[in-house]
């Protein structure tokens, strides 16, 4: 199932072999180019604006990760207002990406009509955030006069996508009775017997220290770690499901459905619902400055994004990026492990369900599913 992502960004190729209704082979290949190479040899001042141009998806998160990496490499400590501005804009961008999945991708794959107006309303609310209009927070060292507290309430109603409860039984009653788009999508998954589809034993990605990342990426001369990251020889998973492991609703869903489709969808919804609280927390307590090597780590809608820079004066001598897609679509990662051994009535059902699981795990590029039946 190809998507509309531009070919220059590459894609994830998912090749499955179906034998007697069971997937017995899963082959995941990425054609994503190592885009970070284009930054080598350029000045830092050139690279920072390029980040949000080269990476059209999650451009703010990419830029903030690059800013953080370069500032650490140069021992520059941005002010609290700049740290807050960057963290808030990353959270808002992640909310937009999550809402796109919930209101556009999920309905189209589940036989429901998408809701572009909901996404449009959020974008209009985002445009009202009173950021420093000259964009000083986007520069090395910052210098913004960021004060968005008065506008954050404008975002809250746009991010409400489920009942205000952490009780799984209450959520089930809601999706069985509500006529909202989100409820209808969850109901189709639940009544279609897909709640546990795609469950696997892939462990969540832990918080990675700057020194650990520097050791892996600093010595990654052939790019093997950046292309297929692992911990102790094993794949890990990043994203809402990993971030929300302690949430009571997600814990209850995991106990009932494993880390299958329903649990993943609920994690995405909780991630959206909790965004306003996280925005307020960020404003009250801007992220602290952690000294270290030239590493920038940012949590995006899809998971942990890492940039690593090595400078020669003001020139970029080396640049490495590990995006969430490299973890989640590792050949032995959550998608591959979740599909292996799955049962299907026919190849058409397999293609549709695989596309749904892929969209819920959410790569940052297009994907294509092929099935050898």
- The domain locations on the chain are 31-131+155-315+327-341
> Can you give the pLDDT at residue 163?
93
d(CA 132, CA 146): 6
Tokens of 38: 């284009």
Q: 289 near 83, Cβ under 8 Å?
A: yes
> Can you give the pLDDT at residue 99?
95
Low-confidence ranges of the chain (pLDDT < 50): 1-8
d(CA 139, CA 137): 6
Q: 11 near 365, Cβ under 8 Å?
A: yes
d(CA 211, CA 220): 14
d(CA 196, CA 263): 8
Q: 309 near 322, Cβ under 8 Å?
A: no
- Three-state secondary structure along 276-311? HHHHHHHHHCCCCCCCCCCEEEEEECCEEEEEEEEE
Q: 99 near 272, Cβ under 8 Å?
A: yes
> In terms of Cα–Cα distance, which of 327, 329, 348 is closest to 339?
329
> Can you give the pLDDT at residue 84?
87
Fold entry, domain 31-131+155-315+327-341: Cytochrome-c3 Hydrogenase; chain B (1.10.645)
Which residues contact residue 135 at a Cβ distance below 8 angstroms, ignoring those fewer than 6 apart?
A: none
> Can you give the pLDDT at residue 284?
84
Q: How many helices and strands (H and E) does the chain possess?
A: 17, 8
Q: 262 near 279, Cβ under 8 Å?
A: no
Q: What is the pLDDT of residues 54-79, one digit of tens each?
A: 887 899 999 999 999 999 999 999 98
What do you get for the CA distance between the two ends of the chain, in Å?
16
d(CA 272, CA 118): 13
> Can you give the pLDDT at residue 134?
66
| DSSP calls for 240-273 | HHHHTTT-HHHHHHHHHHTTSHHHHHHHHHHHHH
- What is the model's pTM? 0.93
> Can you give the pLDDT at residue 234?
96
> Can you give the pLDDT at residue 161?
87
d(CA 83, CA 91): 12
Angle in degrees, 0-180, between the axes of helices 80-100 and 116-127, rounded to the nearest 10: 170
Phi, psi (deg, nearest 5) at residue 155: -80, -30
């Amino acid at each position: 199932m190809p998507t509309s992502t531009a070919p220059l960004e590459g894609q994830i190729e998912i090749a499955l072999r179906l034998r007697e209704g069971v997937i017995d082979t899963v082959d995941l290949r990425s054609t994503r180019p190592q885009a970070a190479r284009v930054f080598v040899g350029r000045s830092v001042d050139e690279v920072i604006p390029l980040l949000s141009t080269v990476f059209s998806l999650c451009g703010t998160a990419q830029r903030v990760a690059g800013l953080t990496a370069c500032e650490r490499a140069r021992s520059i400590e941005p002010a609290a207002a700049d740290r807050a501005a960057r963290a808030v804009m990353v959270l808002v961008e992640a909310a937009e990406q999550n809402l796109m999945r919930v209101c556009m991708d999920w309905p189209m794959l589940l036989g429901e009509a998408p809701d572009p107006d909901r996404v449009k309303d959020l974008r209009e609310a985002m445009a009202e955030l009173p950021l420093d209009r000259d964009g000083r927070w986007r520069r090395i060292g910052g210098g913004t006069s960021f004060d968005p507290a008065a506008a954050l309430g404008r975002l809250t109603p746009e991010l409400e996508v489920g009942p205000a409860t952490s009780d799984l039984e209450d959520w089930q009653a809601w999706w069985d009775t509500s006529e909202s788009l989100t409820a209808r999508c969850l109901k189709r998954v639940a009544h279609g017997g897909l709640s546990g589809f795609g469950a696997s034993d892939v462990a969540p990605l832990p918080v990675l220290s700057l020194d650990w990342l520097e050791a892996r990426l600093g010595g990654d001369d052939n790019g093997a770690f950046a292309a297929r990251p692992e911990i102790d020889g094993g794949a890990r998973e990043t994203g809402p499901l990993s971030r929300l492991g302690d949430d009571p609703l997600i814990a209850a869903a995991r106990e009932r459905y494993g880390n299958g489709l329903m649990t993943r969808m609920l994690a995405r919804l909780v991630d959206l619902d909790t965004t306003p609280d996280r925005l307020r927390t960020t404003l009250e307590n801007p992220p602290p400055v952690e000294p270290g090597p030239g590493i920038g780590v940012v949590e995006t809608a899809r998971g942990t994004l890492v940039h690593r820079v090595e400078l020669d004066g003001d020139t970029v001598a080396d640049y490495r990026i590990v995006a969430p897609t490299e973890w989640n679509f590792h050949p032995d990662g959550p998608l591959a492990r979740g599909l292996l051994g799955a049962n299907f009535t026919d190849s058409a059902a397999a293609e549709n369900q695989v596309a749904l699981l892929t969209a819920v795990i959410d790569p940052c590029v297009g994907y294509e599913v092929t099935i050898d039946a």
